[in-house]
Structure 1
């Protein structure tokens, strides 16, 4: 008789042959439509699974990550069944759950139309109302091949042929629909409450552009229509804030076919913001003990052979070029240059740590299908730094970097973080003692700063463990930006040394570190975080002074000149247009402040002040308006300095 332990601490002896659902019912857990599956000994499991041994059971609902994955994975099957009922010739391929949505790829002879999506969605909702039980069945490998071959599902057969020979293969059935899947799934289609199809796209089979093009359908699902409606409203807000749309509207950036995909043009206003970001970055790095360096955009291919990039990263590098009998390579990383700067002198233990920082532009060959505005590009500038230190300095240096990272991110308006400690992967290099030392130092630095973190077993780089920091934007989305990586591999490859206190040569530890990730991607995130309404210190135009008639031109010019002389970014609008139009256009351009000047303001040498949200802030003297701008411009950067 299996002994079952529940999350609340209860322990029950359950009769043999009982299912997970029956065990939960015996423990008094309501087995209703909100119970989706269960974690059994840490593994998500169907409620219909039979218990055969002692187990620890934790019920899964929609409010858990695992519960949502089960819910949306079953939603992909619901959509796939609807497609097969409406378009029997469509072949099934794969259909995973995503963070807040799902998709399924179909082999079909044409793209699905909006009218098709309406029909598929309606049919899926009808299947949900049928409340079809969802059941698991298992095959041997040959049985699975024969079964799916008989149904004409050739892509499923291809997948099965790649599975191990002696492991059982599972499939899930709901009515007449059967799909290859490891599960788990909901008890029935009736558990799916609100269901919505979103869009279509093309996708290559197995992500390889040499393979056939498939038709992908995206959708989402929630237990209730209220939750679905809230999610759809959020998607509309995401669409409204899309950095590609806002970047074009505010004339910040562009990506043009004549230049090439994934290559960004920074327009004057976008470049103004970039300059502010970069100047702040440089100023803070110098304050925090970094030395700034510059490196060329190309190097001999041999450098990238020594670093290992040719072996491990070749598919993401542009083709090399021949010059004067040597092969040269556009740089995909800045690391080897900083290593060579370190190596240019004999170093003592007293010299360490050495911290090199660079806003270095790199080039990576990303496939056209994954390019996405500023978020995925081929040429970008990393806010890169490499620290060279002794083994006994790792924890202190990592602690400094953590403080510095949170200071930088908070200055730009990000205050919610998720932190991950990633440990040694299966494919890795380096001695066990190095990995243990580095991982312990990273963990000690996090605990020393009382930073909550998640463990990511096996998620480290092949050359060392790392800390990754995700930021949350105004819409609650997570973005991976900052990373701190320990590296023993490159110091060994490049034979780096320092002379220790014992007079003997020793190998330094190298720490790779990025705070924003890349200027392009970080700018894209900033645009969406603020919806283009940047804080005053980052706004390319902080205020606009506008005349009501031509009679105020001279006074407007005086005000603008005085504000520019004070270091503020102010423009004049002297057009012969109605003041209402000027105000609307300034609000649309998301300029923080509007100073309106009429005859009365000229006479009193004052300004009528409006905020970009439409608020009337009253009348101020020129000095008062200057103080307002200065105070707002300084507000965002008045954060605590990073700990020394």
Structure 2
């Protein structure tokens, strides 16, 4: 089945679900109901009633009756005033609002409708005279179309959850109930998808973060402000150290910038006009300065570059800073580590000559590829370009040049890529790395961005070979991106079984009885003297000893539940043979004690 056919099928199911809800709750008021990736949803308002997830089987049962009836989807084009009369007669207040907006300003609202529930429209009409109503059986809805022939041709489906959603995405509007469903052409495809979803639930970083004691949250601290435990802090510091080492290999040097700044910096950079509402504002009690918690680091790094004269011989200048930024995200969009108010970026910026762009981008592409290969995540690249809107700063010729150079760099290193308009930063195009996790989901992770705008806005310059003042090119890169978001992906990708180098606790010694405690001392001496060098250099082995008077079975279960990658089981026979019994997720084996250090270094 083609993507267009799937989309029509899923959109038809949104209508069938709405019809089922209307039969069960006649007072239901309907908002919008689009097809989405893997399924569909509909926003519904029930005055004085609530649909819970316990209601989903009942709705599904009614949907299957409608499917069995095989009602044809029938289209009727009507004058917009007639459609408004229909909506009033059926007390569909949200449809009345949409139709009135459509009548007043066809272009804007028609585009909005097409995005939200009608389907993709390249160019909305400038004036709307007629609209279409679709019916199946006793149900009628406002819709542009994109349906199967009849209700009996909708494949396999299942309703999955109920969530809250503000009408038209505005938190000042009524909150509606959004019912989600998934749908595929065959039952087999649906079953595979549901199995994947069940696996995803078990890998949910919020669950594992709690079970593995990695981070916590507190209502006293605030939503979107995670607190990392000792184990979680080790994890974030190890991956941060790895990112730093990869960049330092290519000549990046560490810098440090304060967490607050005058808002003037962001006004000059252009961030204030674009993201002013997302900034946390800080008021000084000593001066009249208007301050903000920093939401990003690039404007600060421009000021370090500008702090002294630069020559073409100094170029490129490369800075890295792993630091926490702050953004006043909407509370309804916060969840786990995916989206937070305090985000730590492994940020880096290159200031270079135009002739150095190719090499610098290639270095960053190499670093990103090495990092994600080391955690066994397949990468492809999204080349994120500007669209035709006026949301971007800078000369269009510079944009076209930058977009061409990024594409050439990606092609030179042989990365799989696709192009997408409208995903660029406001100051330049970017390379977004899309990583596929262990259960086939794709996540945006690292990014490389070319920027011709900020160096001009800040008046950055260097003296070229001819003695002329020249504006440098700025390249932004974050290999991990937001460390918090990266960790959410990393935790779910591994299911908490981190690679040996990243595990907060790498080794746990488990004793069978107290007679082996002297031998345990020899093991701990070896572990203490072992330094790991790959892929993160100069790391000591992180280990603990469980010498409690408990059964070995209990100790193994507890170590396994904490997903300790290497368990060293020590009993009298190991002492006698001068061996150690190693238990990992993959296998069990015995090795001579003298080989233990080399074994761990090889992992």
- TM-score, normalised with respect to structure 2: 0.91
Query: In the alignment, is residue 159 of structure 1 matched against residue 95 of structure 2?
Result: no
Does the 8 A contact of 1:301 with 1:320 survive in 2? no
| Corresponding residue number in structure 2 for 1:514 | 478
| Corresponding residue number in structure 1 for 2:601 | 630
Query: In the alignment, is residue 380 of structure 1 matched against residue 343 of structure 2?
Result: yes
Query: In the alignment, is residue 76 of structure 1 matched against residue 14 of structure 2?
Result: yes
Structure 1 window deviating more from structure 2 (232-241 vs 438-447): it is: 438-447
CA deviation after TM superposition for structure 1 residue 604, in Å = 2.3
Structure 1 window deviating more from structure 2 (256-265 vs 414-423): it is: 414-423
CA–CA separation in structure 1 for the residues paired with 2:197 and 2:385: 31
Secondary structure at the aligned position of 2:36 is classed as coil
Query: In the alignment, is residue 140 of structure 1 matched against residue 112 of structure 2?
Result: no
CA–CA separation in structure 2 for the residues paired with 1:140 and 1:179: 15
CA deviation after TM superposition for structure 1 residue 348, in Å = 1.7
Query: In the alignment, is residue 598 of structure 1 matched against residue 598 of structure 2?
Result: no
CA–CA separation in structure 2 for the residues paired with 1:292 and 1:139: 65
CA–CA separation in structure 2 for the residues paired with 1:411 and 1:85: 54
C-alpha change, 1:478 and 1:320, in structure 2 (3 Å) is same
Superposition pairs for residues 568-579 of structure 1, below 5 Å? 568-579=541-552
Query: In the alignment, is residue 116 of structure 1 matched against residue 116 of structure 2?
Result: no
Of 182, 193, 204, which aligns to 1:231? 193
| Corresponding residue number in structure 1 for 2:534 | none
Does the 8 A contact of 1:421 with 1:443 survive in 2? no
| Corresponding residue number in structure 1 for 2:32 | 94
Secondary structure at the aligned position of 1:362 is classed as strand
| Corresponding residue number in structure 1 for 2:123 | none
CA deviation after TM superposition for structure 1 residue 561, in Å = 2.7
Of 599, 610, 616, which aligns to 2:588? 616
CA–CA separation in structure 2 for the residues paired with 1:173 and 1:399: 56
Superposition pairs for residues 221-370 of structure 1, below 5 Å? 221-325=183-287, 326-370=289-333
Of 519, 525, 531, which aligns to 1:561? 525
C-alpha change, 1:303 and 1:310, in structure 2 (3 Å) is same
CA–CA separation in structure 1 for the residues paired with 2:473 and 2:252: 17
CA deviation after TM superposition for structure 1 residue 176, in Å = 2.1
C-alpha change, 1:451 and 1:597, in structure 2 (3 Å) is closer
Which deviations, in whole Å up to 9, do the C-alpha atoms of 1:169-188 show, x marking residues without a partner? 33322222122223312221
Secondary structure at the aligned position of 1:524 is classed as helix
Secondary structure at the aligned position of 1:444 is classed as helix
| Corresponding residue number in structure 2 for 1:447 | 411
CA deviation after TM superposition for structure 1 residue 418, in Å = 4.2
Which deviations, in whole Å up to 9, do the C-alpha atoms of 1:126-159 show, x marking residues without a partner? 1111111113333333233222222211111212
Secondary structure at the aligned position of 2:158 is classed as strand
Of 456, 472, 483, which aligns to 2:420? 456
Does the 8 A contact of 1:425 with 1:462 survive in 2? no
Query: In the alignment, is residue 587 of structure 1 matched against residue 560 of structure 2?
Result: yes
CA–CA separation in structure 2 for the residues paired with 1:521 and 1:75: 33
| Corresponding residue number in structure 2 for 1:11 | none
Of 429, 454, 462, which aligns to 1:465? 429
Which deviations, in whole Å up to 9, do the C-alpha atoms of 1:86-128 show, x marking residues without a partner? 1111100012222223221101133312342111011111111
CA–CA separation in structure 2 for the residues paired with 1:142 and 1:396: 61
| Corresponding residue number in structure 1 for 2:512 | 548
Secondary structure at the aligned position of 2:378 is classed as coil
Does the 8 A contact of 1:424 with 1:464 survive in 2? no
Structure 1 window deviating more from structure 2 (569-578 vs 422-431): it is: 422-431
CA deviation after TM superposition for structure 1 residue 480, in Å = 0.9
CA–CA separation in structure 1 for the residues paired with 2:278 and 2:438: 32
CA deviation after TM superposition for structure 1 residue 313, in Å = 0.1
CA–CA separation in structure 2 for the residues paired with 1:106 and 1:247: 34
CA–CA separation in structure 2 for the residues paired with 1:414 and 1:286: 22
| Corresponding residue number in structure 2 for 1:176 | 138
CA–CA separation in structure 1 for the residues paired with 2:13 and 2:490: 33
Query: In the alignment, is residue 411 of structure 1 matched against residue 383 of structure 2?
Result: no
CA deviation after TM superposition for structure 1 residue 394, in Å = 2.7
| Corresponding residue number in structure 2 for 1:207 | 169
CA deviation after TM superposition for structure 1 residue 68, in Å = 2.8
Does the 8 A contact of 1:470 with 1:479 survive in 2? yes
Of 502, 522, 525, which aligns to 1:538? 502
By relative contact order (CA 8 Å, sep 6+), the higher-ranking structure is 2
Gaps of 5+ in 1: 1-60, 633-644
What is the number of residues matched between the two proteins?
A: 568
- TM-score, normalised with respect to structure 1: 0.85
CA–CA separation in structure 1 for the residues paired with 2:397 and 2:555: 66
Does the 8 A contact of 2:7 with 2:146 survive in 1? no
Secondary structure at the aligned position of 1:580 is classed as helix
Gaps of 5+ in 2: 107-126, 531-539
CA–CA separation in structure 1 for the residues paired with 2:351 and 2:223: 36
CA deviation after TM superposition for structure 1 residue 425, in Å = 4.0
CA deviation after TM superposition for structure 1 residue 424, in Å = 4.1
Query: In the alignment, is residue 437 of structure 1 matched against residue 408 of structure 2?
Result: no
CA deviation after TM superposition for structure 1 residue 227, in Å = 1.9
